[in-house]
């Protein structure tokens, strides 16, 4: 690997400098922006992955090219660590450092400096596994990545079009292949086979009833879900899936008036095709790592089952299985949420399910990390991203424990199957959807039964334009502002005037704005509180 080769390769992939001394940062979603700006950035992410792979003894590093629920013109690039989790936080600064190098020469020098500082043997082999969503810009960005791997003698496996969770799955599979902790077959088909096998084992002869319509946001989830369905025997499982909004041939319709983000932020079903009263629906987002369920209640209209609802459903089912299996003394189940979780869901988990709840800052990496502290960690963001993590110890206990009755055996087998069904690397809309179907089938629940478990507090999310969002610094898992000084007191004074109310403000991690969340006993109180807190934020935020 030599400097000249890297410099020459980099010349083909310029980075567009930002104006006014601003720089690109590796955020919660990696680098994400208009796809025209991403060529050089993706090349440099390739360089970083080449370093990271060698630092981790040649284990494969995943790179996913996607902008998730963002408009079709955007794209993004994100690094996945060998076990399928997000890039270790300490390395985000190196990503930011490489991407903002002012010239190709400085870039090459920085590359070698990082290698030296971290004692990376550049002669050892390195490996990258890559995937992209259906955005056309992903094809050229993949080439930028390939050029970076060629310039650094790093091997690259291009899996082409994948959902984000599939890339996470494949990264873990490659790195565990042939070991006792093998995560599955290293192929897309292996992913479908694993899900289908676990789905059948989870159902244990029970059948899914009624049909399910899946809105795929016109993204990669459409073709991939249809692929999965070829493997599912609906005569055995009862799964009757209708796939809609699966047009990936017209890039401009991606995430347009459909998808999980649309449903969550607009709090309504996609206009087209229109769900009929009583139908069971769910929506995936553009890269299939978020899930929203909903239905039109024939009496009261649209009702949404967001990440909080999915988390409570999963936690209650698993806690029941634990009790039946006699494991509630041995292993700990916990639920991880963010400040955006509806207060009613938190209360339900703590008071009704009697399970501990941990609150973390927004962003999957924080939730994932906190969930690892439990034997079974259920984590979901309200926006529908989440999963259930089963520790190695938990999986071993399910396998080893001698059942004392047929009911215990059944519970232990179901738990093991759930551990295989639920993606252990990251939130996976397709895997989560199968989990929801399994749980509803086991409980014999309709969506109405699920809806009445608790009532959400009315809430409102407001986006506030501010001069400088970096003035807003949070503490207490984003539930309070430490800066600007004095602002939190004003918010507290305001919240006090409302019943059962809560409100917080934070700087967005993905755009230049602040977000204000408020909930209260009634719709009008929640709206009023959100607007008042937004006005306070605006006041402190500069022009
Ligand atoms: C990113 C995060 C998502 C979070 C969202 C918040 C990942 C993979 N994605 O999309 O979890 O909910 O940012 O956006 O961590 P915000 O900071 O703009 O509110
Ligand atoms: Mg997504």
306 C-alpha to ligand 2 centroid (Å): 14
Does ligand 1 have an atom closer than 6 angstroms to the CB of 385?
yes
- Integer Cα distance of 40 and 36 in angstroms: 10
Q: Quick one: fold of 307-451?
A: Alpha-D-Glucose-1,6-Bisphosphate; Chain A, domain 3 (3.40.120)
CATH architecture of 189-302: 3-Layer(aba) Sandwich (3.40)
Q: Which of 35, 68, 137, 431 is catalytic?
A: 68
- Integer Cα distance of 331 and 288 in angstroms: 31
- Integer Cα distance of 165 and 173 in angstroms: 12
Q: How many residues does the chain have?
A: 543
Point out the ligand 1 atom lying closest to the alpha carbon of residue 381: 12
Query: Does the predicted model carry a pTM greater than 0.95?
Result: yes
Does ligand 1 have an atom closer than 6 angstroms to the CB of 32?
no
> Which numbered ligand comes closest to the C-alpha of 79?
1
Does ligand 1 have an atom closer than 6 angstroms to the CB of 338?
no
510 C-alpha to ligand 1 centroid (Å): 7
Q: Tokens 């997000």 correspond to what residue?
A: 86
| Residues with Cβ–ion distance below 5 A, ligand 2 | 68, 285, 287, 289
The four Cα atoms 355, 360, 365, 370 give a dihedral, to 10 degrees, of -40
* DSSP state letters, 466-483: -S-GGG-EEETTTTEEEE
- Integer Cα distance of 356 and 336 in angstroms: 9
Does ligand 1 have an atom closer than 6 angstroms to the CB of 29?
yes
Residue set of the binding site for substrate: 381-383, 506-510, 515
Point out the ligand 1 atom lying closest to the alpha carbon of residue 364: 15
- Integer Cα distance of 199 and 265 in angstroms: 30
- Integer Cα distance of 361 and 463 in angstroms: 18
Choose which CATH entry (1.10.760.10, 3.30.390.30, 3.30.310.50, 3.30.70.1020) describes domain 459-540: 3.30.310.50
Q: Give the chain's radius of gyration (CA, Å).
A: 23
Q: Confirm whether 3-161 and 189-302 share one CATH topology.
A: yes
Q: pLDDT tens digits for the chain (543 residues)?
A: 899 999 999 999 999 999 888 899 998 889 999 999 999 999 999 999 999 999 999 999 999 999 999 999 999 999 999 999 999 999 999 999 999 999 999 999 999 999 999 999 999 999 999 999 999 999 999 999 999 999 999 999 999 999 999 999 999 999 999 999 999 999 999 999 999 999 999 999 999 999 999 999 999 999 999 999 999 999 999 999 999 999 999 999 999 999 999 999 999 999 999 999 999 999 999 999 999 999 999 999 999 999 999 999 999 999 999 999 999 888 999 999 999 999 999 999 999 999 999 999 999 999 999 999 999 999 999 999 999 999 999 999 999 999 999 999 999 999 999 999 999 999 999 999 999 999 999 999 999 999 999 999 999 999 999 999 999 999 999 999 999 999 999 999 999 999 999 999 999 988 889 999 999 999 999 999 999 999 999 999 875
363 C-alpha to ligand 1 centroid (Å): 5
Point out the ligand 1 atom lying closest to the alpha carbon of residue 513: 18
247, burial (CB in 10 Å: exposed 0-12, middle 13-18, buried 19+):
middle
Choose which CATH entry (3.40.120.10, 3.40.50.970, 3.50.50.60, 3.30.420.40) describes domain 3-161: 3.40.120.10
The 10 Å CB-count burial string (b at 16+, else e) for 500-534 is ebbbbbbbbeeeeebbbbbbbeeeebbbbbbebbb
508 C-alpha to ligand 1 centroid (Å): 8
> Which numbered ligand comes closest to the C-alpha of 504?
1
Domain ranges of the chain: 3-161, 189-302, 307-451, 459-540
Residue set of the binding site for Mg(2+): 68, 285, 287, 289
Q: Tokens 């890339």 correspond to what residue?
A: 167
> Which numbered ligand comes closest to the C-alpha of 30?
1
Kind and range of the H or E run holding 494 = helix 487-496
Residue 137 annotated among the catalytic residues of the structure: no
- Integer Cα distance of 371 and 355 in angstroms: 13
């Amino acid at each position: 690997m030599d400097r000249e080769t890297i410099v020459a390769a980099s010349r083909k992939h310029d980075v567009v400098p930002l104006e006014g001394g601003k720089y690109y940062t590796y955020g919660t979603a990696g680098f994400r922006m208009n796809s025209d700006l991403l060529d050089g950035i993706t090349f440099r992410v390739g360089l970083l992955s080449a370093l990271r792979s060698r630092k981790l003894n040649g284990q494969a590093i995943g790179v996913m090219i996607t902008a998730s629920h963002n408009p079709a013109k955007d794209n993004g690039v994100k690094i996945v660590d060998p076990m399928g989790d997000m890039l270790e936080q300490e390395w985000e600064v190196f990503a930011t450092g490489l991407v903002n190098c002012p010239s190709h020469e400085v870039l090459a020098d920085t590359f070698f400096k990082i290698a030296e500082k971290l004692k990376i043997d550049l002669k050892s082999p390195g490996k990258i596994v890559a995937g992209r969503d259906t955005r056309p810009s992903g094809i050229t960005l993949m080439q930028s990545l390939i050029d970076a791997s060629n310039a650094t003698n790093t091997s690259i496996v291009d899996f082409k079009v994948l959902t984000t969770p599939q890339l996470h799955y494949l990264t873990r599979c490659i790195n565990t292949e042939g070991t006792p902790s093998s995560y599955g077959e290293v192929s897309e088909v292996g992913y479908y086979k694993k899900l289908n096998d676990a789905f059948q084992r989870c159902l244990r002869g029970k059948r899914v009833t009624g049909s399910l319509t899946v809105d795929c946001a016109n993204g990669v989830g459409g073709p991939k879900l249809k692929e999965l369905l070829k493997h599912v025997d609906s005569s055995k499982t009862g799964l009757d899936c209708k796939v809609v909004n699966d047009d990936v041939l017209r890039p401009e319709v991606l995430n347009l008036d459909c998808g999980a983000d649309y449903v969550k932020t607009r709090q309504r079903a996609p206009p087209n095709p229109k769900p009929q009263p009583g139908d069971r629906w769910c929506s995936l987002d553009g890269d299939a790592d978020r899930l929203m369920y909903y239905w039109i209640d024939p009496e009261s209209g649209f009702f949404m089952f967001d990440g909080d609802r999915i988390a409570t459903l999963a936690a209650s089912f698993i806690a029941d299985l634990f009790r039946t299996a006699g494991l509630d003394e041995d292993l700990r189940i916990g639920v991880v949420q963010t400040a955006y979780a509806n207060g009613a869901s938190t209360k339900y988990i703590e008071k009704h399910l009697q399970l501990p709840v941990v609150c973390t800052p927004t962003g999957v990496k924080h939730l994932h990390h906190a969930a690892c502290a439990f034997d079974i960690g259920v984590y979901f963001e309200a926006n529908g991203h989440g999963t259930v993590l089963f520790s190695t110890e938990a999986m071993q206990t399910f396998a080893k424990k001698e059942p004392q009755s047929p009911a215990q055996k059944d519970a232990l087998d179901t738990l093991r199957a759930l551990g295989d069904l639920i993606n252990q690397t990251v939130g996976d809309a397709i895997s989560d959807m199968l989990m929801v179907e399994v749980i509803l089938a086991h409980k014999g629940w309709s969506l109405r039964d699920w809806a009445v478990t608790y009532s959400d507090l009315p809430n409102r999310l407001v986006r506030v334009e501010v001069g400088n969002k970096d003035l807003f610094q949070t503490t207490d898992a984003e539930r309070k502002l430490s800066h600007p000084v004095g602002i939190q007191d004003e918010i507290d004074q305001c919240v006090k005037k409302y019943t059962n109310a809560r409100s917080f403000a934070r700087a967005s991690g993905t755009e230049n704005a602040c977000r204000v969340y408020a909930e209260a006993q009634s719709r009008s109180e929640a709206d009023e509180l959100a607007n008042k807190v937004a006005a306070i934020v605006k006041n402190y935020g500069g022009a």
